[in-house]
Structures are given as structure tokens and as C-alpha cells.
Structure 1
Amino acid sequence: MHQRETDVPPAGRVDAATEAFVTHRNLLFTVAYEMLGSAADAEDALQDTWLRWADVDLDTVRDRRAYLVRMATRQALVRLRTLGRRKESYVGPWLPEPLLTAPDVAEDVELADSVSMAMLLVLETLAPTERAVFVLREVFGLDYEEIADALGKSRAAVRQITHRARTHVAARRPRTEVSAAETGAALEAFRAAAETGDLQGLLDVLAPDVVFLGDGGGLAQAALEPIVGAGQVAELAAGLSRFGVASLRPVRVNGCPALVLRLDGRVDTVLAARVDDGLITGLYAVRNPEKLSRMDTEMVLCR
């Protein structure tokens, strides 16, 4: 069956759709990534968004940016529920996929905080709809009407969900605002102590109730349960010295200071941290090779 000529969109309309999508692509990726914690799933959500966007009558769209954000949100929400089922059978702790980020991400303090590994782990504790509402409202500043339209909820319901999500996150995020310099200093002290196997140096920078999470995904060796307590985490970190952690180098991951361990030239581990009152309260080691493929290319995130 031959396609009728009227079924083919005019070239100008295709170009306009493409231009709008490309213009806002980094924003759409950031929205999807914050909702999913997975760059691979965020890319899939964007692909689904594009396929739907290409069929939209642009003459009916008043605000293309807002329309695209709503579409990307819906696609990410579908994937978030699927991702939740996948995590149930994941081997060991699940950590967000780390991204090597451009310097300008760190300059936007609110954005850097919202995509930090620590915050993404807090967002993991929200229900899918709560996470979507929190991200759209608190990070991207959408009004209640826009969020209600995106999620098929009433404005009143969105307000209630926002309050619930905000309270939930506030109870779990770092107690005080932590600067990038403070996080970087704590990680540098950790790196220096780990490099020499200095147990006392590690204990000095680790909070007594520090939690270490390792994500190997069944594809790389990692602890299958959280390791809790400064003593146990310090012993684990001191053992890194046998790998020659001079190759443990500072980088910017998800807009925040982090460390990358390379073995034989390849990225073996990305180590991010949560810092409270100058001490490391959380260490997050991503070793699953499927989550490290983007660590050689800077990603552009934006609001």
C-alpha cells in the first residue's frame, strides 16, 4: 500500500519540530534523568518523546518547551515504574548511573544538588508520582497547573503531593547545605588516606555511622549489602591501597566532586560521597560496567 501524499508532513513542519526538540533536548534529558537516575533509560524516554512529538500539530502548541517537558515527563514516568520492577531483581544495592558533567553544571548550585548521587538516592525513596512532582516543581519550577496537566492530576492533588514529597525529602537530605569545596576537601582527605592505607586518617574523615554502598550489578565484584560504620568502611578503603590508588583521581560527577579509579586505563569505579558537617556520611561506589560507559564524555545538564 502506497503512502498518500497528504500523509507526508511538509518539510517546514518537520524542520520546526526537529528544531524545537533539539533546542530543548538537554533540558528534556535532565528531567528524565532526574526522574530515572539512569542515563540509558532517560535516552529511551527521549526517543519515545520524539516519536510522539513528531506527530504533534505544532499549530496547536502554544508553548513548545512546556509541551515537550510534559511529554518527556509522561514517558519517564512510564519507564520509572518499569525500572522499579527491574530493581527488585537487581543484584546488590542499586545506585544511579554516574555522569561526567561539564563545569557549568557545578555553577548552578541548585541543579548540581538535585542531580548529586546523594539527592538521587533520596529521590529513590519517593513513589513514582511523588518523584515526578518533586522534580518538576522543586527543581524545574513548573507551576501546579503545568504539573497537573503533565500527570493527569487535579491542581489540588498536585499541591498535596508536592507537600508530601517536600517533607519526605527534607527529612532525608543532608542536614546542612554543603559546598562543593567542602565535599572536595573531604574526598581529598579520603583519597590521601586510602592511598597509603592510613586507617586513622580514614577514621578522621568518616562519620561514625557512615554507610558504604557498592553497585556491581552482578557484573563486577561489590558488597551485596550496605557496609555501615566508620571502622568497617575504613578497613575496606584501606584495602584499596593494594590496587595502587594513585590512579584514584578527582572529577566532577553529577555536578559534584567525586573520585574515579582507573585500572589499566579503563574506568573501574566511580566513587561519590555525601558529606554532613565536614564528615563523609555516605560513600557510593559504582562498579557496574554498564553504568560507566558515559564517564569519558562530558554530559550537558540544564534547567
Structure 2
Amino acid sequence: MTIRTEPGHGRRDPDLSAIVNERRQLINLAYRLLGSLAEAEDAVQETYARWYAMSQQQQQAIESPGAWLTTVASRVCLDLLGSARVRRERYVGEWIPEPLPEPTEWINGRPGGTTADPADRVTLDESINMAFLVVLESMTPAERVAFILHDVFRYSFAEVAEIVGRSPAACRQLATSARRRIRGSQAPAPPAAQRAVIVRDFKQAWEAKDIDALIGLLDPDATATGDGGGLVSAQLCPVEGGEQIARFFVGLAGRATNVTILERTVNGQPGLVAQVDGVTVAVYAFHVAGERIKDIWAILNPDKIRAWTTG
């Protein structure tokens, strides 16, 4: 779970290419800190705006433009996390991090095979799966920033301290607390191939409206959470219990018309996508523990699945 800086860090000459080359690194950082691609883009735009607001003399005085950009982006995200917590408390229904498509699937789904969307600039690894991001949402902004910078991006606690404005010892404690949350929420996951088979079996049982098969695939204490951004069609409260979830999904299948369910990679993990006439209307992420599905996250908010809507 390690991502370190890309080319451009440590260069004294703040030429345009070196600065632009930092964009992918900044998007990767900001998405993990914020859980929202749109907010990550805004944070990165603000970071660049601050860079270009400086005079050329000020820019040349910065020893490492890449480190400067990372520091500013982290601080922007830290501020955004504070205000985001208030916004998400007022959010209609449950708030789930924005799901990311696998880059090649996204690019291949667009005319000409290219896209300007930032989704294809986010590196997918275990620090980006939905279960991990959901746990990050339970952390304080300072915990989240300290943990991501140190454990994922491998910044020293001295560097983290400079960014978050706390002592290295305090940042170490923040990361330790965050790590404890991660360990307490994650059960051992089966191999990726086995997870894919379980999600495929869920898809087939769902399409067949086979309640017994669905119950067999779901943990008895499983939870299904929907995020529709206030849409009437979204389930506002999580559905709890394997049997209740199975009946809920069979009910969905009974009401749905012209819906196609596709197997897709969601945040680097096996997932499903529901499409109507080729347009994505829902993205499903799964947390598989042992040999059963422990969590399902259904994202229906149109703003969050825009990168998936190929039309």
C-alpha cells in the first residue's frame, strides 16, 4: 500500500513540464484524502492556482516544486475535509465515496479510446478499494491526512508534521489511531479470483431472482448501503441482514425493466454496473470476507457515476 512521488520531485527548475507532471500524483493524493473525484479535481486546481499566483522569482526560490505542490494540496484537502464533514452530515441518505472505473475499461468505452476525465489518472491499488475508503470516512481529517501521507505515500512523520501543522510525535499518534481503525474493520479477504467468482455468482443469482442462492452468498450480518444523493429511487437507510438484502435485490430485479448487469472493476475490486440502454445508472462495490459478501455499496447519485456513463 505504497505510492511514492513521481518524476518532478526534487527538481530546482520549476519549468512547465515538471509542474504539469505532478498532476497525476496530486490527483492520486487528493482522491484518497477526499473520497471524491470532483473534490479532488477542485483541490488540485486550487493548488495550481496558488502556484501560478506567485511571481517567477518566488517560484524559483522553491527548492522542490513537487514537494511544495504536495504540501499545498494536502493542506487544501485538510480544509476541505473539515467542511465536507458538515456537508455530508446534511446529505440526504447515506454518503458513499465516489466509485472509480478501471482506467482501460473507461478509456475503451469512449469514442476514440481517449478521455480527459481524471479517473484514468488515479492509480488503483488496495488503498483505493471501497471498503478502505469507507473506513477512512470514519476518521478525523487530521487522522486521515497523517495516515494517507505516511502509510500510503510514504512521507516521513517530519514531513507530515510540516504539512498538518502538528509535531511529528502527534502525527505518529494520528497515524497509529487510523491504523487501528483499519485493522479493526477489515477481515481477511480471499484471493482476487475468488472474489470475482463470488461477485459473478451474486450477479447470476440476482438476475435469476434466486433468493436462496443470494442468501448463501451473503454473510448473515451483511449490510447493503445505497447512495442516491437524495434520489427517490435510492434506499435511504442501509439494509441489514443477508436474507433481507437478498429479498431487497430480488425485489429490485422484479421492478427493473431493460436493465443490463455487467461485471466491472470498481475501485480495483470486482464489482457490478447496472445499465439502461447503455447508460450506467448504478455502480455496485463489494466487500468480500471469508467466502461471503459482507458489504454492498450501491452508488446511484448521477454526479458520482458520471465517469461511468458512456451512453
1:64 positional shift:
2.7
Aligned to 1:207: 219
Q: How does 1:248-267 map to 2 (within 5 A)?
A: 248-267=261-280
Runs (5+) with no aligned partner, structure 1 = 1-14, 105-109, 298-303
Aligned to 1:239: 251
Q: Does the Cα contact within 8 Å between 1:144 and 1:155 map onto a contact in 2?
A: yes
Aligned to 2:297, the other structure's residue is in SS state strand
1:154 positional shift:
1.1
Q: Does the Cα contact within 8 Å between 2:224 and 2:238 map onto a contact in 1?
A: yes
1:17 positional shift:
4.8
1:176 aligned onto 2:177? no
1:220 positional shift:
4.7
Q: How does 1:1-303 map to 2 (within 5 A)?
A: 16-56=14-54, 57-102=58-103, 111-173=124-186, 175-242=187-254, 243=256, 247-296=260-309
Q: Number of aligned residue pairs: give it.
A: 277
Aligned to 1:221, the other structure's residue is in SS state coil
TM-score of the superposed pair, with normalisation by structure 1: 0.86
Q: Does the Cα contact within 8 Å between 2:225 and 2:296 map onto a contact in 1?
A: yes
Q: Does the Cα contact within 8 Å between 1:195 and 1:240 map onto a contact in 2?
A: no
> For residues 225 and 47 of structure 2, what CA distance do their matches in structure 1 show?
33
Aligned to 1:280, the other structure's residue is in SS state strand
Aligned to 1:62, the other structure's residue is in SS state coil
1:296 positional shift:
4.5
> For residues 52 and 20 of structure 2, what CA distance do their matches in structure 1 show?
12
> For residues 177 and 207 of structure 1, what CA distance do their matches in structure 2 show?
13
Aligned to 2:10: none
Q: Does the Cα contact within 8 Å between 1:103 and 1:255 map onto a contact in 2?
A: no
Aligned to 1:171, the other structure's residue is in SS state helix
Aligned to 2:49, the other structure's residue is in SS state helix
> For residues 221 and 292 of structure 1, what CA distance do their matches in structure 2 show?
15
1:111 positional shift:
5.0
Aligned to 1:4: none
1:184 positional shift:
1.3
TM-score of the superposed pair, with normalisation by structure 2: 0.84
Q: Does the Cα contact within 8 Å between 1:269 and 1:286 map onto a contact in 2?
A: yes
Q: 1:135 to 1:111 in 2, by over 3 A?
A: farther
> For residues 263 and 246 of structure 1, what CA distance do their matches in structure 2 show?
5
Runs (5+) with no aligned partner, structure 2 = 1-12, 106-122
Higher relative contact order at CA 8 Å, sep ≥6: structure 1 or structure 2? Answer: 1
Q: 1:195 to 1:245 in 2, by over 3 A?
A: farther
Q: Does the Cα contact within 8 Å between 1:114 and 1:139 map onto a contact in 2?
A: yes
**Root mean square deviation, CA, Å:** 2.0
> For residues 263 and 220 of structure 1, what CA distance do their matches in structure 2 show?
18
1:266 positional shift:
1.3
Q: Does the Cα contact within 8 Å between 1:195 and 1:245 map onto a contact in 2?
A: no
Q: Does the Cα contact within 8 Å between 2:14 and 2:65 map onto a contact in 1?
A: no
Aligned to 2:83, the other structure's residue is in SS state helix
> For residues 102 and 197 of structure 1, what CA distance do their matches in structure 2 show?
31
- What amino acid is the match of 1:270? V
1:61 positional shift:
2.5
Q: Does the Cα contact within 8 Å between 1:29 and 1:43 map onto a contact in 2?
A: yes
Aligned to 1:9: none
Q: 1:267 to 1:246 in 2, by over 3 A?
A: closer
Q: Does the Cα contact within 8 Å between 1:102 and 1:255 map onto a contact in 2?
A: no
Q: 1:161 to 1:245 in 2, by over 3 A?
A: farther
